[in-house]
Structure 1
C-alpha cells in the first residue's frame, strides 16, 4: 500500500473509532450543520454526503460534498466523515426533492417535486443500502489494518 493509501486508511480507522464511540458534546458543539443532504457514492465507490453546510470551519455557508462518509446515525442526527462530525438537519427528500435519474413527470413537477442531479455520483436513497455500503467499507479498513497494510 502506498503512503497516501496508508494515510487514508489510518484516517478512516481513526474516524471509524470516533464514530463507534459516538460524538462527544464538544464534537457536536463544533460540528457544522448539514442541511438538505443526500448520501452519494462517488464514481470510485466511496460514500459521501452532499448538501448545504453551515458553520463549517473553512466556510460559513456552502453547498458541499463531504470527505469520505464513515458513519451516519439518522436517529441521533449526526454523520461522521474522514474529517469531522456533522449535525444533520432534515434530508433533501424532506423538502419534496426526490433523487432520480430522470426529469419529474408533469404530475410530480406540479406537486413541487424537483430533480436532484450530481453527474457521476450515484444517490443512495435507501437507508439500509447506505448502512450496507458503510459496513462494507468499515470491514475493508479493518481487514487492511489486520493484514498490517497500514503500519
Structure 2
C-alpha cells in the first residue's frame, strides 16, 4: 500500500474509532453547526452531508458538502465525518415539511422543496443512510485487516 493510501486508511480508521466512542462535550462545543442538513450520496455510495454551516474552522459560515460521512446520530444531534464532528441543527426534511404546511399542501411530504447538486442524489431514507455508512465502515476495517496480513 502506498504511503498516501496508508495515511487515508489510518485517518478513516481514526474517524471510525472516534465515532464509535462518540463525541465528548468538548468535541461538540468546538464543532461547527450544520443547519438544513441533508444526506447526499455519489455514484460510489459515498455519503456526505449538505447544509448551512456556521463556526467551521476553515470556512466560517457557508453552504457546504462535508467530507465523507462516517456516523450520524440523529437523536443526539451529531455527525462524524472523515475530518471532524458536526452539531446538527434542523434537518432539511423538517424545513421541507414546514414549507409544505405553509403552502397549505395537504400532506407535508418530501420533494416539496428540491435542489440538485451535480454528482449527488439526496438520500432521505434513514435506513439506507445507515446501511451505506455500515458498508463503508466494514470496507475500511476489512482493508485494514488485509493490509496487516500483507505486512
What TM-score, normalized by structure 1, do the two folds share? 0.85
Counterpart of 2:52 in 1: which secondary structure? strand
Partner in structure 2 of residue 116 of structure 1: 115
Contact 2:51 2:63 in 1 (8 A): yes
What is the aligned partner in structure 1 of residue 135 from structure 2?
136
Residues in 2 aligned to 1:4 and 1:63: alpha-carbon distance in whole angstroms: 29
Structure 1: segments with no counterpart, 5+ residues: 98-108
2:27 maps to: 27
Counterpart-to-counterpart distance in 2, 1:75 and 1:3? 38
**Secondary structure in 2 matching 1:27:** helix
Question: What is the root-mean-square deviation of aligned Cα atoms in Å?
Answer: 2.4
Asked if the contact 2:45/2:132 (under 8 Å) is kept, the reply is no
Aligned to 1:94: 94
The CA distance in 2 between the partners of 1:10 and 1:68, in whole Å, is 15
Question: When you count helix as a share of all residues, which structure comes out higher?
Answer: 2
**Per-residue displacement from partner, 1:13-37 (whole Å, max 9, x unpaired)?**
1000000000011100100000001
Q: Write the distance in 2 (CA, Å) between the matches of 1:37 and 1:50.
A: 5
What TM-score, normalized to structure 2?
0.85
